[in-house]
């Protein structure tokens, strides 16, 4: 109580602002006055003690300096308990006052008011994304003035630090947890959010703009931010939207657009070109390939680029958000001189794609993505490249081989890869780590694809093959296992020992819906 | 003066022989070694204490993992190991006694018995590790048992299981505030809070967690086995070092180096072996007797 | 009696041809590399430590040069964002190496390793440390650790920051395991040194030297050793876990495997905060030795300085949480850590007051060691006071991980530990090598260094308070003026260090012969010749009050101080002064 009163009293006096203002930035949140006051309090105490100590050092050195007549110290005690106690107690009291003031403000910072507006902050290497209560997504943090905002923060990869100097607020963002803090801006203004916790290459550029506005204007802003596909009510070309996403989703951290080297491949002249995979395969960068690289980056690895660096964007590009994918792929195509029909998305670039009317709805979706959405979203994977014309199963299998990412680990020409080659696989004996040898028949192939952990083949590292194909190829949603059969048919066409036992139980004819 | 030149050296002379130049008396040298050894053993305990802290933190935050996974371990083999180590501790103590009293044969015998105890401990433990390996009761991504501790089959947990933060009441001191978040009516998209590709060496990334067929199997059981292998592995390493050092003492004892005038190394090794024993007496209940 | 020829040691020559000292006792390289002599081991630590300091210092100059312009002067992109990021990785490697080298290879080992090893047995009047072989093992663990650090840098430089925070350190594609293994070995070197020194102080004190009659440097070294012994094993196991994490994927710290990345921070700081006191306490001990000698006055408040070292060491174990206030540990826990942080500030303040009281009414000689000791007081005061504001919870929120923190710990580490080390090096230099350095140049170098340090680090305090985060390869243009001044300061420091290297090397070969007691010190190392003989003392020195200078006079013939009457061995407890 007393501390509060004194702090308010002294706070109004605003002493020493002229000099102390050289130090802390002018704070614009409800925390700032307290922080500012304690800073000033500490600052002047420090100035006092620094001047005192430097003064004593200098004056003693001059006054008591060693001279011809002064070769030994004057007789003075080397011991004085009351003096010792004095200079123990006084600093102790001072630091306890600082402790109490700091503690009081900190408890306030730690407990967000119940009526706070919620913003979800997503940190990743090396960008910030903000999701608002209405589902809008932005890379600028919009804050309403005079309304407490609770920030629920998650990290997709490593530690990051949410730090807005002008609003006196900082919190680490720890992966695997939801970190919370809150802030209430007191004035409209523009500030900068910087990442404070070291997070790698792009750490020093991991910034975001912060805009505090009066509540009505804030609402207007986040509604506008909710729709990236339109500007002033007019639909934008998808490539333009893709360029925005390039920045807002943080692609720019690893992929250049001018051909210069980065952590990931440059997008300049990427679409339609040839890339060499880690298994030595050469693939043409078509739409299906780009899609796989964006939605499931771990599946296919391009030679010369490290594994496990690219975050999984999964739900941001699939399901209701598939337009984001079209936009980014159009943008990549717009950067390439090799761009061709095969490398372009299945919707036109101009007037915002095929269905401009629903675009705003589609974009508003991401914040309400339910946990199941990611699983569901994975199901239409093979639809787009499979095309409208009915094709034999093994042809569909050959397409799935690329689009599902099998190509990343399995070759079809007999060369070694991470997983076994599909050339002459079906019908040939396979040695298991248990010592048994089994023939690669239909049952074996099906098990290996759906439940890869059940058996381990000698010479193939365990635990590498993902076990989520179960959901994409089998189960309740895929009672006919059409795509699975397509893959196994494709494997059969690559083997000279294909037989009834190795082939799927359905004929290799166009799939029936 | 002539009487002092006995043919067999006296205790005093033996002690003088082993006195380093910077010490004044053998007693000072022994005390210094003793104090140094105690400090070293204190650092050994502190080395283990880091793991005990990790154990305590995870157990406090996820008791369900420890309750579930602890039943995989066989308390009988842990108990046998405890008895083996206790016996070897006794023989080691006797060895120290015999070194001081100069009974050379008894000293060598006790040292050999202590080594034998250490080897037996390691053999029993190796069997346990081997069984764990067979059942895939391992750490991190290698954890993939096909049966639960009750013998019933469980869903194979192959590949990486990233932790999905579940909004559940958490008793820990304010680390996770997901419960409060849920109360505030905020919908957290799970796909957004999945940690991204982490893992060294080609681990598949960000897959969805499979719904376990065994409803009693909690998430992240692999953490328990990570801690189990670290703790017992570090301890076994100490047992191995202990066996080697005792072997060295045995050789020196057979050469007849120890006697009432000089026995300090046996005492120091005995202290070390005592600490190795003691650590297991903590590990055994903490890992094997959870339920 | 009348003749000296008939002594009991017939083979000893009557007149030694040339006085043998520890530097000339054995001339082969092997006699150095395999020596068990604490003094030679100390000199070897000094050489390796200074080499590491040179590398770390040059890296610091690279950092400062990079930050001259906002987008980076040395490492910057070719226009695209992606190319900048790829370039910034090199900067990240540079500051990581700077931190690792300075903390683990310079600040922690150099005072105990070099000056402690050299001076501790001399101050005790002992022939060696308790375990000379262990001492040599410590040194080689340190060297192997340093070599592994170099190896990992050659293979693929680490870019984690010296703190190795998970999960970044688990994911990054650099040779973290090799580096961490190196630090692990350096840690064990530190533990063994600590054990050695503690046992030496416990068991090898000469008769008459009670605990409260020990020189204060020994109290500081004792407190330091206590921390080394009790805290280092914990970081040892932490680094083992980190290695397991990378090699086996054990998962304790990896959130992707259900682990807890914050646990790593707790473990890391449980060591690394006390490690701060490992760095600063010996420096305080050195200052406590120098100030009374150069004030020609008995130290003021001996017991308070001695016990405050111990208090800092003990309370220092309980404050690690103040590094991680903003990482989401509970506010109640934060409050406890904050409280204890303020408590530990008090003993440091006590020391400063006692030093000032020692100077009061003294006869102050402003020779180089004293100038450095006074610089220490001023710089440490600034470092300590900026630490106080960081301990305040609400202030830490706006200062955590900014350049304010960088400025603060450089004031403490550079202005405290390093200046303390340099003070001690100048103080014991005549004893170590038997040569004097050029006093005038040394004094001017001290002044230049003092200016350089303030120019470098004061702007960092200001820019940090203004909001610039640390570990930034590029920054907002509004911070540039501060950064320029800071860089200029760094180059001024470089000039000072080059000058220091010059006059010290000159002194090694061309310096004037040093007297037995050039400064008039009262502790036992000044009783033996400069440099001391292999066995330290020709005769066992008599123990007295190490801070009593009343019976000492300057002897212009030898250019050193001599006692007018032999030290009296006090029989009872020291009388009140």
Q: Give alpha helix (H) positions in chain B.
A: 11-17, 26-61, 63-70, 75-101, 104-134, 178-183, 190-193, 222-254, 264-288
pLDDT confidence of A342, banded at 50, 70, 90? confident
Flag whether residue A464 sits within 8 Å of chain B, measured between CB atoms: yes
A152 bridge partner residues:
A120, A180
What tens digit of pLDDT does each residue of A72-98 get?
Answer: 888 888 888 999 999 999 999 999 999
pLDDT at B219 over 80: no
pLDDT at C16 over 50: no
- Which residue is closest to B139 within chain C, CA to CA? C250
More confident residue, C240 or A233: C240
Answer for the pair A64, C295: CB distance below 8 angstroms, yes or no. Answer: yes
pLDDT at B272 over 60: yes
At a CB cut-off of 8 Å and minimum separation 6, what does C4 contact? Answer: C14
Nearest-angstrom CA–CA distance, A10 and A6: 6
Containing C447, the helix (H) or strand (E) segment is helix C439-465
CA-closest candidate to residue A109, choices A167, A39, A37: A167
What tens digit of pLDDT does each residue of C357-372 get?
Answer: 999 999 999 999 999 9
Flag whether residue A501 sits within 8 Å of chain B, measured between CB atoms: no
Complex confidence, ipTM: 0.90
Range in A223-227, C247-251, C548-552 the model is least confident about: A223-227
Q: What is the pLDDT of residue C572?
A: 43
Range in A305-314, A327-336, B281-290, C414-423 the model is least confident about: A305-314
Nearest-angstrom CA–CA distance, C214 and C216: 6
- How is residue A121 annotated by DSSP? E
CATH code given to domain A230-377: 1.10.760.10
pLDDT at A375 over 60: no
Tell me which residue in A118, A175, A311 faces B186 most closely, judged by beta carbons: A118
Chain A hits for C352, Cβ within 8 Å: 53
Distance (Å) of CA C394 to CA B33, B47, C331: 49, 35, 11
Tell me which residue in B36, B141, B174 faces C199 most closely, judged by beta carbons: B36
Distance of CA A369 to the CA centre of its chain: 16
Looking at domain B25-157+218-288, what is its CATH homologous superfamily? Cytochrome c oxidase, subunit III, four-helix bundle (1.20.120.80)
Chain C hits for A99, Cβ within 8 Å: 338-339, 342, 391-392
Flag whether residue C547 sits within 8 Å of chain A, measured between CB atoms: yes
Flag whether residue C402 sits within 8 Å of chain A, measured between CB atoms: yes
pLDDT at B215 over 70: no
What tens digit of pLDDT does each residue of C488-500 get?
Answer: 999 999 999 999 9
Q: What is the pLDDT of residue A307?
A: 67
Give the closest-approach CA distance of B202 to chain A in angstroms: 7
What tens digit of pLDDT does each residue of C336-351 get?
Answer: 999 999 999 999 999 9
Flag whether residue B142 sits within 8 Å of chain A, measured between CB atoms: yes
pLDDT at C305 over 80: yes
Chain B hits for A375, Cβ within 8 Å: 208
| DSSP per-residue string spanning B214-227 | STT--TTTHHHHHH
HSE-up (13 A, CA, CB side) for residue A21: 6
| DSSP per-residue string spanning C116-153 | IHHHHHHHHT-SS-S-HHHHHHHHHHHHHHHHHHHHHH
CB atoms within 10 A of CB B77: 15
Q: What is the pLDDT of residue A239?
A: 85
Q: What is the pLDDT of residue C577?
A: 42
Tell me which residue in A102, A171, A252 faces C82 most closely, judged by beta carbons: A252
Q: What is the pLDDT of residue C257?
A: 83
| pLDDT mean over A103-110 | 88
More confident residue, B139 or C379: C379
Flag whether residue B176 sits within 8 Å of chain A, measured between CB atoms: yes
Containing A282, the helix (H) or strand (E) segment is strand A282-284
pLDDT at C560 over 80: yes
Tell me which residue in A65, A109, A198 faces C394 most closely, judged by beta carbons: A109
Q: Are B203 and A116 inside 8 Å of each other by CB?
A: no
To probe the interface with B, which of A156, A372, A455 has the most B CB atoms within 10 Å? A156
CB atoms within 10 A of CB A197: 29
To probe the interface with B, which of C127, C201, C203 has the most B CB atoms within 10 Å? C203
Q: What is the pLDDT of residue B9?
A: 65
What tens digit of pLDDT does each residue of B11-59 get?
Answer: 777 777 788 888 888 888 889 999 999 999 999 999 999 899 999 988 8
Q: Are B176 and A177 inside 8 Å of each other by CB?
A: yes
Q: Are B21 and C127 inside 8 Å of each other by CB?
A: yes
Give the closest-approach CA distance of B204 to chain A in angstroms: 6
Q: Are C395 and A254 inside 8 Å of each other by CB?
A: no
Nearest-angstrom CA–CA distance, A418 and A416: 7
pLDDT at A346 over 60: yes
Q: Are B173 and C167 inside 8 Å of each other by CB?
A: no
Answer for the pair C283, C111: CB distance below 8 angstroms, yes or no. Answer: yes
Q: What is the pLDDT of residue A462?
A: 60
Class of domain A2-66+79-110: mainly alpha
| pLDDT mean over C228-240 | 92
CATH code given to domain A117-226: 2.60.40.420
- Which residue is closest to C463 within chain A, CA to CA? A23
- Cis status, amide bond into C531, omega within 30 of 0: yes
What tens digit of pLDDT does each residue of A189-203 get?
Answer: 999 999 999 999 999
Range in A232-236, A324-328, C256-260, C327-331 the model is least confident about: A232-236
Nearest-angstrom CA–CA distance, A368 and A182: 22
pLDDT confidence of C539, banded at 50, 70, 90? confident
| pLDDT mean over C436-450 | 96
Q: Are C83 and A262 inside 8 Å of each other by CB?
A: yes
CATH code given to domain C38-563: 1.20.210.10
Q: What is the mean pLDDT of chain A?
A: 78
Flag whether residue C471 sits within 8 Å of chain A, measured between CB atoms: yes
Global pTM? 0.76
Chain B hits for A157, Cβ within 8 Å: 195-198
Answer for the pair C173, A201: CB distance below 8 angstroms, yes or no. Answer: no
Flag whether residue C330 sits within 8 Å of chain B, measured between CB atoms: yes
At a CB cut-off of 8 Å and minimum separation 6, what does C194 contact? Answer: B39, C112, C224, C225, C226, C227, C228, C229, C232
Structural domain spans, chain B: 25-157+218-288, 162-208
| pLDDT mean over C407-418 | 95
Q: What is the mean pLDDT of chain C?
A: 90
- Phi and psi angles of residue A171, each rounded to the nearest 5 degrees, phi first: -155, 140
**Chains touching A (3+ CB pairs < 8 Å):** B, C
Give the closest-approach CA distance of C130 to chain A in angstroms: 33
Q: Are B31 and C203 inside 8 Å of each other by CB?
A: yes
pLDDT confidence of B177, banded at 50, 70, 90? very low
**Chains touching B (3+ CB pairs < 8 Å):** A, C
Q: What is the mean pLDDT of chain B?
A: 76
Q: Are B54 and C241 inside 8 Å of each other by CB?
A: yes
Instruction: Quote the Cα angle for C509-C515-C517, to 5°.
Output: 130
pLDDT at A486 over 90: no
What is the SS3 assignment for C182?
A: helix
Containing A114, the helix (H) or strand (E) segment is none
Flag whether residue B193 sits within 8 Å of chain A, measured between CB atoms: yes
Q: Are B198 and C257 inside 8 Å of each other by CB?
A: yes
Q: Are A154 and B197 inside 8 Å of each other by CB?
A: no
Query: Chain A window 438-457: which residues touch B at a Cβ cutoff of 8 Å?
Result: 451-454
Residue C338 token pair: 């904050």
Chain A hits for C353, Cβ within 8 Å: 87
Q: Which of A17-31, A317-331, B207-221, C548-562 has the highest mean pLDDT?
A: C548-562
What tens digit of pLDDT does each residue of A288-330 get?
Answer: 888 888 887 767 777 777 666 676 676 678 777 788 888 888 8
What tens digit of pLDDT does each residue of B182-206 get?
Answer: 333 333 333 333 333 333 322 333 3
pLDDT confidence of C405, banded at 50, 70, 90? very high
At a CB cut-off of 8 Å and minimum separation 6, what does A79 contact? Answer: C300, C301, C302, C576, C577
Tell me which residue in A180, A314, A461 faces B191 most closely, judged by beta carbons: A314
Range in A127-141, A148-162, A310-324, B200-214 the model is least confident about: B200-214
HSE-up (13 A, CA, CB side) for residue A107: 9
Size of interface B-C (CB pairs under 8 A): 164
Q: How is domain A384-493 classified at the CATH fold level?
A: Cytochrome Bc1 Complex; Chain D, domain 2 (1.10.760)
Nearest-angstrom CA–CA distance, C323 and B267: 42
Instruction: Quote the Cα angle for B117-B118-B123, to 5°.
Output: 95
Contacts of B183-187 with CB under 8 Å at 24 or more apart are B184/A114, B184/A116, B184/A118, B184/A150, B186/A118, B186/A120, B186/A152, B187/A367, B187/A368
Structural domain spans, chain A: 2-66+79-110, 117-226, 230-377, 384-493
What is the SS3 assignment for C451?
A: helix
More confident residue, B137 or C37: C37
Flag whether residue A246 sits within 8 Å of chain C, measured between CB atoms: no
What is chain B's alpha carbon radius of gyration, rounded to the nearest angstrom? 26
CA-closest candidate to residue B142, choices B229, B53, B232, B214: B229
Chain B hits for C134, Cβ within 8 Å: 36
Q: What is the pLDDT of residue B273?
A: 95
More confident residue, A465 or C115: C115
pLDDT at B162 over 50: no
More confident residue, A434 or C501: C501
To probe the interface with A, which of C67, C72, C392, C545 has the most A CB atoms within 10 Å? C392
pLDDT at B156 over 80: no
pLDDT confidence of C566, banded at 50, 70, 90? low
At a CB cut-off of 8 Å and minimum separation 6, what does C25 contact? Answer: C31, C37, C533, C534
Give the closest-approach CA distance of A226 to chain C in angstroms: 26
Flag whether residue C243 sits within 8 Å of chain B, measured between CB atoms: no
pLDDT at C390 over 80: yes
Flag whether residue A249 sits within 8 Å of chain C, measured between CB atoms: no
Structural domain spans, chain C: 38-563
Tell me which residue in A154, A176, A418 faces B192 most closely, judged by beta carbons: A154
Asked if the domains A2-66+79-110 and A384-493 are classified in one and the same CATH topology, the answer is no
What is the SS3 assignment for A138?
A: strand
Q: Are B195 and A124 inside 8 Å of each other by CB?
A: no
Q: Give alpha helix (H) positions in A343-481.
A: 359-364, 373-377, 383-386, 393-403, 442-450, 469-473
Q: Are B198 and A308 inside 8 Å of each other by CB?
A: yes
- Which residue is closest to C203 within chain B, CA to CA? B32
Calculate the dihedral angle through the C-alpha atoms of A255, A258, A261, A262, rounding to the nearest 10 degrees. Answer: -20
- How is residue A357 annotated by DSSP? G
Nearest-angstrom CA–CA distance, C192 and C182: 16
């Amino acid at each position: 109580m007393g501390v509060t009163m004194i702090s308010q009293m002294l706070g109004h006096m605003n002493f020493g602002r002229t000099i102390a203002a050289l130090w802390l930035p002018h704070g614009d949140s409800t925390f700032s006055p307290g922080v500012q006051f304690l800073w000033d309090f500490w600052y002047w105490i420090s100035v006092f003690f620094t001047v005192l100590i430097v003064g004593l050092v200098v004056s003693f050195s001059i006054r008591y300096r060693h001279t011809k007549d002064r070769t030994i110290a004057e007789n003075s005690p080397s011991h004085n308990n009351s003096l010792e106690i004095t200079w123990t107690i006084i600093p102790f009291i001072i630091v306890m006052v600082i402790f109490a003031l700091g503690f009081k403000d900190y408890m306030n910072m730690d407990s967000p008011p119940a009526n706070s507006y919620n913003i979800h902050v997503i940190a990743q290497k090396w960008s910030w994304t903000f999701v608002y209560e209405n589902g809008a997504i932005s890379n600028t943090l919009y804050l309403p003035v005079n309304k407490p905002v609770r920030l629920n923060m998650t990290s997709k990869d490593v530690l990051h630090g949410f730090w807005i100097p002008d609003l006196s607020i900082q919190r680490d963002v720890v992966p695997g947890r939801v970190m919370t803090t809150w802030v209430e801006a007191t004035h409209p203004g523009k500030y900068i959010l910087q990442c404070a916790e070291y997070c790698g290459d792009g750490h020093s550029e991991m910034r975001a703009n912060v805009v505090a506005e009066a509540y009505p204007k804030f609402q207007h802003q986040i509604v506008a931010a909710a729709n990236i596909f339109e500007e002033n009510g007019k639909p934008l070309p998808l490539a333009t939207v893709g360029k925005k996403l390039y920045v807002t989703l943080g692609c720019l951290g690893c992929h250049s657009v001018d051909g210069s080297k980065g952590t990931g491949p440059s997008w300049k002249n990427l679409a339609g070109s040839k890339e060499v995979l880690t298994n030595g395969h050469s693939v043409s960068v078509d739409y299906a390939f780009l899609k796989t690289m964006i939605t499931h980056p771990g599946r296919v690895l391009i030679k010369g680029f490290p594994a496990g660096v690219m975050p999984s964007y999964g739900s941001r590009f699939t399901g209701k958000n598939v337009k984001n994918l079209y936009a980014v792929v159009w943008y990549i195509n717009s950067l390439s001189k090799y761009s061709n029909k095969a490398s372009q998305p299945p919707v036109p670039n101009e007037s915002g794609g095929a269905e401009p009317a629903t675009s705003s709805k589609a974009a508003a979706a991401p914040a309400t993505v339910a946990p199941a959405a990611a699983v569901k979203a994975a199901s239409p994977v093979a639809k787009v490249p499979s095309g409208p014309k009915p094709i034999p199963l093994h042809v569909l299998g050959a397409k799935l081989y690329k689009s599902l990412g099998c190509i990343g680990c399995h070759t079809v020409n007999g060369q070694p890869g991470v997983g076994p080659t599909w050339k002459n696989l079906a019908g040939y004996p396979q040695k298991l780590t248990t010592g048994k040898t089994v023939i690669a028949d239909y049952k074996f192939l099906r098990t290996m694809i759906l439940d890869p952990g059940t058996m381990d083949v000698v010479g193939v590292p365990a635990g590498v093959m993902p076990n989520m194909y179960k959901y994409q190829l089998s189960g309740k949603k895929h009672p006919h296992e059409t795509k699975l059969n397509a893959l196994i048919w494709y494997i059969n066409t690559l083997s000279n020992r294909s037989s009834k036992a190795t082939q799927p139980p359905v004929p290799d004819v166009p799939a029936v819906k | 003066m002539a009487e002092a030149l006995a043919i067999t050296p006296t205790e005093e002379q033996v002690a003088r022989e082993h006195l380093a130049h910077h010490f004044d008396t053998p007693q000072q040298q022994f005390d210094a070694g003793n104090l140094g050894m105690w400090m070293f053993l204190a650092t050994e305990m502190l080395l283990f204490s880091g793991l005990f802290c990790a154990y305590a933190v995870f157990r406090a935050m996820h008791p369900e993992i420890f309750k579930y996974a602890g039943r995989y371990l066989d308390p009988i083999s842990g108990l046998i190991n405890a008895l083996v180590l206790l016996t070897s501790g006794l023989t080691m103590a006797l060895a120290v006694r015999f070194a001081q009293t100069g009974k050379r044969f008894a000293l060598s015998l006790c040292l050999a018995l202590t080594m034998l105890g250490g080897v037996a401990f390691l053999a029993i433990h190796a069997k346990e590790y081997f069984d764990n390996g067979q059942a895939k009761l391992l750490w991190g991504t290698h954890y993939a048992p096909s049966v639960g501790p009750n013998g019933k089959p469980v869903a194979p947990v192959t590949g990486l299981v990233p932790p999905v933060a579940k909004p559940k009441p958490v008793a820990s001191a304010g680390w996770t505030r997901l419960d409060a978040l849920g109360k505030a009516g905020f919908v957290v998209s799970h796909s957004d809070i999945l940690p991204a590709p982490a893992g060294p060496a080609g681990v598949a990334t960000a897959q969805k967690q499979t719904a376990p067929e065994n409803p009693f199997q909690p998430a992240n059981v692999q953490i328990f086995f990570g801690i189990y292998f670290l703790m017992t592995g570090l301890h076994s390493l100490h047992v191995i070092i202990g066996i080697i050092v005792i072997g060295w003492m045995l050789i020196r004892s057979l050469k007849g180096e120890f006697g009432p005038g000089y026995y300090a190394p046996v005492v120091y090794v005995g202290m070390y072996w005592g600490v190795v024993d003691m650590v297991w007496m903590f590990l055994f209940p903490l890992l094997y007797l959870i339920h | 009696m009348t003749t000296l020829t008939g002594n009991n040691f017939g083979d000893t020559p009557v007149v030694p041809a040339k006085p043998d000292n520890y530097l000339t006792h054995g001339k082969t390289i092997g006699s150095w590399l395999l020596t068990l002599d604490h003094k030679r081991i100390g000199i070897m630590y000094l050489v390796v430590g200074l080499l590491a300091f040179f590398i770390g210092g040059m890296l610091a100059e690279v950092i400062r040069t990079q930050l001259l312009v906002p987008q980076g002067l040395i490492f910057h992109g070719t226009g695209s964002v992606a190319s900048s990021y790829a370039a910034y990785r090199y900067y990240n490697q540079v500051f990581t190496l700077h931190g690792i080298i300075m903390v683990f290879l310079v600040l922690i080992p150099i005072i105990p390793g070099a000056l402690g090893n050299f001076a501790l047995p001399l101050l005790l009047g002992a022939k060696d440390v308790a375990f000379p072989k262990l001492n040599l093992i410590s040194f080689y663990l340190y060297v192997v650790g340093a070599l592994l650090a170099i190896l990992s840098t050659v293979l693929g430089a680490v870019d984690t920051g010296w703190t190795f925070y998970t999960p970044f350190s688990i994911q990054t594609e650099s040779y973290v395991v090799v580096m961490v293994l190196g630090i692990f070995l350096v840690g064990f070197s530190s533990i063994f040194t600590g054990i050695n020194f503690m046992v030496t102080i416990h068991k090898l004190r000469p008769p008459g030297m009670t605990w409260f009659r020990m020189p204060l440097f020994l109290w500081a070294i004792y407190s330091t050793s206590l921390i080394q012994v009790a805290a280092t094993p914990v970081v040892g196991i932490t680094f083992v876990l980190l290695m397991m994490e990378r090699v086996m994927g054990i998962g304790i710290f990896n959130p992707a495997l259900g682990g807890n990345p914050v646990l790593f921070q707790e473990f890391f700081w449980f060591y690394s905060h006390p490690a701060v006191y490992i760095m600063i306490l010996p420096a305080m001990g050195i200052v406590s030795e120098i100030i009374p000698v150069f004030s020609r006055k008995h130290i003021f408040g001996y017991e308070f300085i001695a016990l405050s070292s111990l208090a800092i060491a003990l309370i220092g174990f309980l404050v690690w949480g103040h590094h991680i206030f903003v990482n989401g540990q509970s506010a109640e826990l934060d409050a406890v850590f904050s409280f204890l942080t303020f408590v530990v500030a008090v003993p440091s303040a006590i020391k400063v007051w006692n030093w000032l009281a020692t100077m009061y009414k003294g006869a102050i000689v402003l020779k180089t060691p004293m100038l450095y000791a006074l610089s220490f007081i001023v710089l440490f005061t600034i470092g300590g006071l900026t630490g106080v504001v960081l301990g305040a919870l609400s202030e830490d929120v706006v200062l955590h991980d900014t350049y304010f923190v960088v400025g603060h710990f450089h004031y403490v580490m550079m202005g405290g530990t390093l200046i303390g080390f340099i003070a001690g090096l100048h103080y014991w230099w005549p004893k170590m090598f038997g040569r004097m350095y050029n006093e005038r140049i040394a004094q001017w170098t001290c002044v230049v260094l003092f200016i350089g340090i303030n120019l470098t680090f004061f702007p960092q305090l200001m820019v940090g308070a203004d909001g610039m985060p640390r570990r930034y390869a590029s920054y907002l243009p509004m911070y540039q003026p501060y950064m320029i001044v800071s860089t200029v300061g760094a180059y001024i420091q470089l000039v000072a260090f080059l000058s220091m290297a010059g006059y010290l090397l000159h002194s090694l070969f061309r310096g004037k012969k040093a007297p037995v007691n050039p400064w008039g010190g009262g502790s036992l190392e000044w009783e033996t010749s400069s440099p001391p003989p292999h066995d330290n003392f020709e005769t066992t020195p008599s123990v007295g009050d190490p801070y009593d200078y009343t019976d000492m006079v300057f002897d212009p013939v030898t250019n050193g101080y001599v006692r007018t009457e032999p030290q009296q061995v006090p029989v009872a407890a020291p009388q009140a002064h």
